[in-house]
Amino acid sequence: MKGQDHEGFTFANLSRQSALPPSELAAAAIVPVDWNRDVAIDLVLCGASSPWAGVMENILHNRFRWRAVEEPLVPIKGATSLAVADVDGNASWDLLACGKEGIAVTR
């Protein structure tokens, strides 16, 4: 479906081609990083009350797609702060999460 704004510019609804995080995520921490190493900055998100994290994958041209992060990152429940680094030197990102329950490193 195409539309037009008050200045005559046309636009298209891209909602079906985009995916947002689930509303229950309630993001408490967001880290910009090239998570999938495709030279486009993605956003890693986690919520203080959510048991998981995810990535808003930058698929270019002002489009992002939500990707829940695989099982090894689940133990970050309650995280209010995130950092991304290659902690173990294996050429893949590790996620450091901090919250009321302490600090966790997931690999």
What is the predicted pLDDT for the residue at 32? 95
Tell me the backbone φ, ψ of residue 52, rounded to 5 degrees: -145, 170
Q: What is the pLDDT of residues 51-82, one digit of tens each?
A: 667 889 998 887 888 887 765 554 566 788 88
pLDDT of residue 31: 92
Amino acid at 23: S
Q: What is the pLDDT of residues 12-42, one digit of tens each?
A: 777 776 677 877 778 888 999 999 899 999 9
- Checking if the pLDDT of 46 tops 80, the result is yes
Dihedrals φ, ψ of 92, to 5°?
A: -140, 150
- For residues 28 and 36, what is the distance between their CA atoms, to the nearest angstrom? 22
Sheet with 27-33, strands from edge to edge, namely: 27-33, 42-47, 53-58, 64-68
